[in-house]
Structure 1
Amino acid sequence: MHLYRIMKVLEAVATSGRPITAGEVQNLTDLPRPTCYRLLQTMTSQRLLDEPETGRFLVGERMVRLAFLAQTDADVSRAAAPALKEAADHFGEAIFLSRLRNKGVEIIHVEVPKDAKRSFVHPGLGFRP
């Protein structure tokens, strides 16, 4: 299926941690070479991937924009919660996850330590001055 192949290419590029060559994409996806190159060209023309003059591919601005637009506060909180909980337990402090929104700061998630040795102030969720 065409969409399956597109997703394989996107995942290979996104998880590589660095810009990668067409050959590396082909090796990571096990797609036939002509198919891989055709997908890379199409995805680049649609700005899902970017290919600077280095000849290496990275996630394109259109894909990045789509990813950011699709993330609700709940999505961000769910993804960040395990790391925030670990930090709260490690440091023994409350950890707040905030977003800049409309020229203000909004607290969207809070994790508190499992064994708090001192008290902390929990300002609640929502906008803060």
Structure 2
Amino acid sequence: MPQYRVSTFTGDVENAGTDANVYITIYGSLRAVGPATLDNAEDNFERAKEDHFTLDLSDVGRVERINIRHDNSGDKAGWYLNRVTIDVDGDHAEFPCHRWLALDEDDHKTEVDLRRA
């Protein structure tokens, strides 16, 4: 079972961070896996912070796109996501975002589908 090293990059804008629960679904050339919770022992998803997660998931083949979302829980749940990277078996995938996942910003959605850059 491959280990997916997922990194999230929260933007450096006012109130960019979130305390909401964040989930990712990874879509590849073979199949999709998830949603998987992005969580570790740190205070994640804070303004201008890079967070790292290791997920043991089924092989999806070449990573092609992702869906990333949060459950809108907690105070000021909106999150400004700059980008996501995924490293697995020597392959590095970048997913630019540069937008809010928030009910009161941008398109008022707490999830986004991102294609590999």
Q: Which has the higher helix share?
A: 1
TM-score range, shorter-chain basis? Answer: under 0.3
Q: Tell me the TM-score normalized by structure 1.
A: 0.24
The structure whose residues are more often strand, as a share, is 2
Considering Cα pairs closer than 8 Å and 6+ residues apart, tell me whether 1 or 2 has the greater RCO.
Answer: 2
User: What's the TM-score once normalised by structure 2's chain length?
Assistant: 0.25
